[in-house]
Structure 1
Amino acid sequence: MPKQQCESSRGYLFNTSESTTFEKTGYFPLQNPLALDDRMIGLYGLETVSLGLPGNGEGPTVNGTFIGTIGTYTTLATPEFWLGYIGLQSQAKTFFQEPSHPSYITALFEAQGIPSQSFGYTAGANYRHTEATSLGSLTLGGYDASCFVSNDMTFTTNTDGNLMVDLVGLIARTTSASDIDLLNGTNVNMNIDSTIAEIWLPVAVCKIFEDAFGLIYDEDTDLYLVDDISHRILMGLNPNVTFTLRPTAKSDTARTVQIVLPYAAFDLQASSPYQGLNKTQRYFPIRRGTNESQWTLGRTFFQEAYLKVDWERSQFGLYQRDWTDRQLDIAAIVSPRYGKATGAEDLDRALSKLSTGAIVGIAVGAVIVVFIAATTAWWIWQRQRRQKQPDYSSVAAATTPSKRPEDSPFTDLVSGPLVFQKSELPGESSVSKNKDPFADAEAIEQPIYEMMGDFPAAYEAGGRQLSEKESMIVRERGINGVDPNGTSILSAPHAAGQSALLTMDEIAISNGINHHKRASFSSRAVQREGSPDLPPYTAQQGPSHTEDHVRRRFSYES
């Protein structure tokens, strides 16, 4: 192949001699993922790497990225690496006694270019005839949710950090047959590597493909070449192949995920000088692998599959490609280191990775939280303050007289202003240590009757009802001060035969009553009961005695 054609077929070239930032490290073996030839050597060094085209959406720049060069400007030009590759592994690179160098995706993460050491990838499919959906997709630090049909299956990377799955089912369906078992009950432990073009399978499985689709294996090129007749037959069969995958045997889950590839995904062309071909020719992209280290799901598989990898959580996912032409939906995978930042340095580094909008949003959210906390604290303080104040409404309700039953012999008092009982000692009350607290009656509040009411019930021992005579004696004693036993309670200093002077209040309003009737009634009452004779009543001597000799202070009415 002419040099110009060789260079143009490889895409853009990198010339180390023309770079001003390349720092040579040395010549080291190229790591062929299929381990077919360990004699390939490449020139390694440190270089400044940016994604995208200059002036056309150029991505973040990473200084000191560890790269390897092959081809014209190295010790060996090999067709095994016809195109350049971007390493997406997170493990550091180490050669012999050389110091380790972080991978590109790790360096990009440490340079705050992406939110995590993760990526999402699909190879694209030109047979879909739609430019918007047929192109490949690579998202660093996240994934494009519009490119796949979501499922809940999660795979785990192995101890070496490699992506491996178990192929437990391989079924083909054609226009004339269905459920063709291409795996023949054998489980195959498969590697996942997007740097490999084809699907590498055990030899026994490849022979089952030959019988099912009429494939012919070419010993010279180690390819399944397809001529025009075979191509027309396969187009008529229009087979599709379903891959059933699950986590490796060390996993305890029995769940699986299925990826379906149409025949168009297997209808590929190979060009010179690939595998010694002299011309462009159709081929069926499965390859024979002699050992399990070569059994690989390559880019042919990822035409119809989407791969999402999170190196920091040691997890990855496989999804069926979605061709519904959905709108771009980029989602970030956030590093777990952000959630574990405890020190000031880690926290500052985590915050510095956030966008300005995210930082502003966090600040606004913090202000809102502080405002809500302050409002809640003020409300609680006001509530406790109100609870400490006396509840006068409950006191008024307690002192309001309850409604008497209808059959109560008592009647309610006339409504008027309420009089509340005092709950403290009066101000003029004297306090003495020797004072008997049980005998202190000053604090007892006497009830106030605004109008004459019913007599309160007498709280005393029961007795008999007074007779008429006893009632008159008690009444006379209260008015005249006469002892019923005959002993006068008049003042001693008065002269014999001289009665005590009466006040105007003591004079009974008994004018106009017959004197003789009262006197005779009094005399009969005394004699009838057989009581001792009462002292004769002597009225005050004076001018009024002769004029109104019938005035008495009380009378006995029969």
Structure 2
Amino acid sequence: MPEPFSLAPSGQWDGNDGHWSSFSIKLGTPERSYRVFPDTFGYDSAIPSAKGCKPDDPKDCIKWRGADDQGFKSEDSKSWDEIGEYVTSFVDELEGPSYAIYGLDTITIPIEGGGTHKLEKQAIAMIEEKKPFIGSLGLAPVTSEYLNNTKSGPSVMEALRDQKLLPSVSYGYTAGAYYKNPKVQGSLTFGGYDASRLDDDHDSVRFPFAFGPAVPQEHENITVGIWAIEATGTQTPGTDSFHHDKNSLVGVIDSSISHFWFPSSLCETFEKNFGLTYNKETDFYTIDDKTHDRLVKDKASVKFTLGYPNMKGDPFEVTFPYEALNMEPSWPLYKDAKRIFPMRKNKNGSADYPATLGRTFLQEVYLMVNYDKSEFELHKAVLDNVGKADLQTIDDKAWEEEDAEGATAGGASKSKKGKKKGFKIKLKTPVIIGIAVGAGVLIILAVVVLCCIKRKKGPKKMKGSYESLRGAAPVAMKAFQDNHRTGAPQPYAPYIAGGNHGHGA
């Protein structure tokens, strides 16, 4: 059976909206090195192109964007096979779509400790715009098919599994912590997890996928119920309860986003109690020097309590010190660095729209995802005295067998290093699937109610979008699930751009 392996971190801290631990990959023939962030939501791999920095940009623009010497030039790679211009899968729900030139090329993954894995014909999005600012490595096991094009490219996870380089379609990831002394680099393990990064003094919790195996390609499977948010060290004495309701707010864990995205009402509560200032021009919450000094002195913190419907056992709890919430953005967000609180209003500021728990959340949390079993785990991450890597395998059978020391299915379990942990989970989240077949086009619409909330996320209406092309041809995504693939149209798949880079319909 293949062994799990870790992707080597770059050793650098990148990003224009905070300091984030990046990872190194190589792309093309001949190979060039690029720094990327793991993307728990997406399936594409994205790299800034050579045109991603303009003549009037700062001279170090391309280095800030993760390239050692230059952005990606497709004409310089002998293995590049161009597909065309599409809307990317990493659409920013707040700022609109991102466009890219898609093609197939070779990704080389450096293994921490030595060696590489070479993956040919990988789908690559060559980004000219500055969103995303740093390249990304999609972790969802999805193959994209492109409208009016017969070419397709598997995700990194699928390619690794197809080449029998993984014991399971799974990974473990924590984002690292720039604010710790010493700084803690991120950790990404394929086919298993790094037990040295799991804090045994805190209970872990296993969650079922929100959509379950019936809709395995749905990105938002890694979804939790946000039961409570509490804060200490704010402008009011004692503990402030910002949110306390098991049925009113769900959150998608999405490391392609740096910060938290919350409903307007919750953002305003944070603003008032922490003494933040909302900047309408940038849509960020800033922290002035006086407020910063007070929050440091009072040791401010924010505690999340997370669960899911009908769970047994205790929910997952994690506390973020103020240091983890004090971000310094840079160009092009700000010409001069200012302190910001890692929070933005979600789409339309609606309480009915899911929250997003971005990369900030994964500073203090270790995420373990098993696509083969439609489950994921949350652990408190070790950030002090991190030991030598201790990679443990997640295989297809390990998560079926109940650990003798585990808790009741669906409840909390104490993490034990060196043990294959697992217990059966019966998915209890309701999933309703409607299927319509016409003119050879299969359209699957998944309507999911999680925590009694209607999920209102949907495709954007723009030229070339899924909405306008629905009657023309399927835009399919195929997901690896239990050793077979199933395809379905999906509003987050790449769509033909149609030459229009606007936001209108």
Which residue identity lines up with residue 263 of structure 2 in the other structure? P
Alignment correspondent of 1:107: 159
Alignment correspondent of 1:86: 137
Residue 21 in structure 1 maps to residue 79 in structure 2: yes
Which consecutive unaligned segments of at least 5 residues does structure 2 have?
1-55, 212-217, 401-505
Using the TM superposition, give the Cα deviation of residue 177 of structure 1 relative to its aligned residue in structure 2, in angstroms.
2.7
In 2: Cα distance, 1:15 partner to 1:6 partner: 16
CA contact (8 A) 1:246 1:254 kept: no
Please give the secondary structure, in 1, of the residue aligned with 2:145. Answer: coil
Alignment correspondent of 1:46: 104
Q: RMSD over aligned Cα, in angstroms?
A: 2.4
Residue 122 in structure 1 maps to residue 174 in structure 2: yes
What is the number of equivalent residue pairs in this alignment? 326
Query: 1:237-256 CA distances to partner (integer Å, 9 max, x unpaired)?
Result: 22111100002x3x444631
| Identical positions, percent | 29
Greater RCO, 1 or 2 (C-alpha within 8 Å, sep 6+): 2
CA contact (8 A) 2:261 2:343 kept: yes
Go from structure 1 to structure 2 and tell me whether the alpha carbon gap of 1:142 and 1:56 turns closer, same or farther (over 3 Å shift): closer
Match for residue 302 of structure 1 among 357, 362, 369: 362
In 2: Cα distance, 1:101 partner to 1:242 partner: 40
Go from structure 1 to structure 2 and tell me whether the alpha carbon gap of 1:237 and 1:48 turns closer, same or farther (over 3 Å shift): same
Return the TM-score normalized by structure 1.
Answer: 0.55
Matches within 5 A, 1:105-504: 105-131=157-183, 134-150=184-200, 151-159=203-211, 160-161=218-219, 162-174=221-233, 177-183=237-243, 185=245, 187-247=248-308, 249=309, 251-253=310-312, 255-274=314-333, 277-289=334-346, 290-291=349-350, 292-293=352-353, 295-325=355-385, 326-336=387-397
In 2: Cα distance, 1:204 partner to 1:337 partner: 43
Matches within 5 A, 1:50-61: 50-52=108-110, 57-61=114-118
In 2: Cα distance, 1:138 partner to 1:237 partner: 34
Higher strand share: 2
CA contact (8 A) 1:45 1:68 kept: yes
Higher helix share: 1
Query: 1:66-115 CA distances to partner (integer Å, 9 max, x unpaired)?
Result: 111102xxxxx2x2210000000012223334455321111111112222
Which residue identity lines up with residue 332 of structure 2 in the other structure? P
CA contact (8 A) 2:177 2:383 kept: no
Return the TM-score normalized by structure 2.
Answer: 0.61
Which consecutive unaligned segments of at least 5 residues does structure 1 have?
72-76, 340-558
Query: 1:328-386 CA distances to partner (integer Å, 9 max, x unpaired)?
Result: 211111135999xxxxxxxxxxxxxxxxxxxxxxxxxxxxxxxxxxxxxxxxxxxxxxx
- Determine which structure has more spread, i.e. the larger CA radius of gyration: 1
CA contact (8 A) 1:31 1:38 kept: no
Query: 1:17-64 CA distances to partner (integer Å, 9 max, x unpaired)?
Result: 1101111111111123442355432111111111129x9834211111
In 1: Cα distance, 2:281 partner to 2:197 partner: 38
In 1: Cα distance, 2:292 partner to 2:399 partner: 54
In 2: Cα distance, 1:4 partner to 1:278 partner: 14
Please give the secondary structure, in 2, of the residue aligned with 1:281. Answer: coil
Please give the secondary structure, in 1, of the residue aligned with 2:79. Answer: coil
Go from structure 1 to structure 2 and tell me whether the alpha carbon gap of 1:37 and 1:239 turns closer, same or farther (over 3 Å shift): closer
In 2: Cα distance, 1:67 partner to 1:89 partner: 14
Which residue identity lines up with residue 338 of structure 2 in the other structure? Q
Please give the secondary structure, in 2, of the residue aligned with 1:268. Answer: coil
